[in-house]
Amino acid sequence: MRNKLNIGLFGFGCVGNGLFDVLNKSNLLDATISKIVVKSPNKTRSIGSEHFSFDKNEILHNEEINVVVELIDDAKAAFEIVSEALSRKKHVVTANKKMLAENLDTLLALAKENKVSLLYEASVGGSIPIIRNLEEYYNNDSLSGVLGIVNGTTNYILTQTNYGKDYETALAEATALGFAESDPTLDVDAYDSKYKLLILIKHAFGVTLSPEQIFNYGIRNIKPQDVRYASEKGYRLKLFSRGEKVENKLVGFVAPHFITEDNVAYNVNNEFNSVTVEAMFSDKQLFQGKGAGAYPTASAVLSDVSALQFDYSYEYKKSNNTENINFTNDINLKIYAGASNLAALDIFQWIEKEEIFQGKDYAYVTGIVNLKNISGVDFNKEHDLFFAVLPE
Ligand SMILES: NC(=O)c1ccc[n+]([C@@H]2O[C@H](COP(=O)([O-])OP(=O)(O)OC[C@H]3O[C@@H](n4cnc5c(N)ncnc54)[C@H](OP(=O)(O)O)[C@@H]3O)[C@@H](O)[C@H]2O)c1
C-alpha cells in the first residue's frame, strides 16, 4: 500500500525550486509539500510567501509532516536538522554529500534506532541512479571497482582546457553557467569528489571511511604544458573518484587521470557525470547522466520520495561483512608529473622513473610512485606542479 507523504522542505534554492516544480508537474506521487523553511526573509521567491517559514521547528515539531527533504547549502545546519528530524521519527531525503560524508554512521544509527529511512540518491552523480543500484543490484563478492566522474565543475573545466582554454577562463565559465560552488575550492581541490567517493564506497563495499582517510587531489594546478602532453599522447584528463577492492584490500582516492580512447568514460564531457562499475562477471558498466542542475538533481530527490511511498530504506547488507576488509593507500601508481624544474618533482619519492624531460621552463617525469608515500602531502597547495595517473 502507498503511504501518504506530507513533506517539510528545507531550502528553496536551485534544487529546492526544482523539486517543487517536478513534484507539481509529475502528478505521479501522493505527496504534498506543506511547508518550506529557508534562511533569508528578504529574498524574492518564485512562489507565494504563505509557503515559507524561517523557523525550522515549524517543520520539525509538526506531527503531520512525516518526510523531511533537506536541500540546504550548509552542512553543519543540515546535520542538526536531519538529526532532529530522524529523532522525531520523520523519514529524511537529502542531497548533502558533505554532511553525509562527515556523519554517515551517526546518521545511520539514528535512522535505525527510530525505524525511519534516510535516502540520498541525489548526493552522488545528480540524476544518475547509482546508490540504489550499488545497494541492490551488485553483491559484495563480485564488485571490484567504482570509478566516478562525479563533479560537473571539474569535468567541465578539464573538457574545456582540452579545447585550448586556460584553467582560469574555464573556471569562470563553469561559475557563470552555475556549475561551480560559490567557493570553488570544494570542486577544484576534489573535496566534493571525495565526499561522494566515501558514499559510493559505503554502498559498493559496505565500509564507512572518514573523509580524512581519503587522499584528494584536484585540478587547480593544471598548466597548458600538461594539457599539451595529454593531447600529444591522445589522452583525455578526468578527475576520478576511485574505489577498488582486491581480495581484502580496499583502496580509495581522488586524483586526475589521463585516459585513452578505449576507456568507457572517454566521452563523458563537460558537466556530465559518470560512474563506471566493475564487477567480476559483468565487466565494466557505465552509468552516465547530468550530475547537477535543478531538474536532474530534483529527479533523484523525487525518486527517493517516491520510494518512501513503499517504505523503502537502504539495508546496508554489505556492511555486515567488512571485518576482513582493510583500507590502505599502499598501491603503486604510474604517474606523469610536470613542474617548472626537475628538482620540484623529487617530492614524489619515485620508485622507478621511466621518462625524464627538462625544457627551458618546464620539466616532467613519468614513473611509478606509491600512494602511501605521497598521501601525506596536500598537492592542492603545490602550485608549481601538476600530476595525473597514467593509463595502466
Ligand atoms: N545545485 C546542484 O546541482 C546540486 C547537485 C547535487 C547536490 N546538491 C546539493 O543540494 C543541496 C542544495 O543545493 P542548492 O544548489 O539547491 O543550494 P542553493 O541554491 O545555494 O540554495 C540553498 C538553500 O538553502 C537555504 N538555507 C541555507 N541555510 C539554511 C538554514 N540554516 N535553514 C534553512 N534554509 C537554509 C537557502 O535559503 P535562502 O533561499 O533563504 O538563502 C537556500 O534556499 C546542497 O547540499 C548541494 O550540495 C546540489
Segment 275-302, tens digit of pLDDT: 999 998 888 999 999 988 899 999 999 9
Residues with a CB atom less than 6 Å from ligand 1: 10-16, 37-40, 43, 71-74, 77, 95-96, 122, 126, 292-293, 297
Can you tell me the distance from the alpha carbon of 169 to that of 161, in angstroms, rounded to the nearest whole number?
9
Which phi-psi region, left, alpha or beta, contains residue 391 (left: φ > 0; alpha: ψ -120 to 50)? beta
* Lowest model confidence (mean pLDDT) among 2-11, 63-72, 105-114, 208-217: 2-11
Check residue 140 and give its pLDDT.
59
Check residue 175 and give its pLDDT.
87
* Highest CATH level, class, for 5-119: alpha beta
Check residue 293 and give its pLDDT.
86
The predicted-structure confidence for 153-179, as pLDDT tens digits, reads as follows 999 999 999 888 999 999 999 888 877
Across the range 341-348, mean pLDDT stands at 96
Three-state secondary-structure class, residue 94: strand
CA angle 168, 174, 178 (to 5 degrees): 145
For the chain, the domains span: 5-119, 139-290+324-389
C-alpha cell at 129: 541512479
Residue 3 has pLDDT above 80, yes or no: no
CA angle 23, 26, 30 (to 5 degrees): 65
**Residue 378, phi then psi, degrees to nearest 5:** -90, 90
Label residue 125 exposed, middle or buried (CB < 10 Å: 0-12, 13-18, 19+): buried
Residue with cell 517559514: 53
Are the C-beta atoms of residues 96 and 70 closer than 8 Å to each other?
A: yes
Distances (CA, A) of 279 to 39, 118, 208, 389: 44, 27, 20, 22
The predicted-structure confidence for 133-158, as pLDDT tens digits, reads as follows 999 998 756 899 999 999 999 999 99
The predicted-structure confidence for 27-83, as pLDDT tens digits, reads as follows 778 889 999 999 999 999 999 999 999 999 999 999 999 999 999 999 999 999 999
Residue 354: enclosing H or E segment and its boundaries?
strand 352-358
| 196 tagged catalytic | yes
Q: Which numbered atom of ligand 1 lies nearest the CA of 37?
A: 33
Three-state secondary-structure class, residue 77: helix
Check residue 141 and give its pLDDT.
63
Three-state secondary-structure class, residue 50: helix
**Distance from Cα 46 to the centre of ligand 1, integer Å:** 15
Smallest Cα–Cα separation from 203: which of 296, 118, 330, 288?
118
Smallest Cα–Cα separation from 28: which of 67, 66, 2?
2
Instruction: State the pLDDT confidence band at 105, using cuts at 50, 70 and 90.
Output: very high
Smallest Cα–Cα separation from 325: which of 242, 216, 252?
252
Can you tell me the distance from the alpha carbon of 7 to that of 24, in angstroms, rounded to the nearest whole number?
13
Instruction: State the pLDDT confidence band at 24, using cuts at 50, 70 and 90.
Output: confident
Out of 38, 58, 304, mutate this one to test ligand 1's pocket (max ligand atoms within 8 Å of CB): namely: 38
Label residue 257 exposed, middle or buried (CB < 10 Å: 0-12, 13-18, 19+): buried
Can you tell me the distance from the alpha carbon of 80 to that of 77, in angstroms, rounded to the nearest whole number?
5
C-alpha cell at 26: 509529475
Smallest Cα–Cα separation from 67: which of 305, 344, 315?
305
Check residue 181 and give its pLDDT.
74
The mean of the pLDDT values for the chain is 94
Question: Terminus-to-terminus CA distance in the chain, angstroms?
Answer: 51
* Highest CATH level, class, for 139-290+324-389: alpha beta
Out of 35, 55, 72, 100, mutate this one to test ligand 1's pocket (max ligand atoms within 8 Å of CB): namely: 72
Residue with cell 572518514: 210
Annotated catalytic residue: which of 196, 202, 238, 318? 196
Can you tell me the distance from the alpha carbon of 59 to that of 90, in angstroms, rounded to the nearest whole number?
10
Can you tell me the distance from the alpha carbon of 15 to that of 147, in angstroms, rounded to the nearest whole number?
25
Can you tell me the distance from the alpha carbon of 260 to that of 389, in angstroms, rounded to the nearest whole number?
12
Check residue 21 and give its pLDDT.
93
Residue 353 has pLDDT above 70, yes or no: yes
The predicted-structure confidence for 229-278, as pLDDT tens digits, reads as follows 999 999 999 999 999 998 899 999 999 999 999 999 999 999 999 999 99
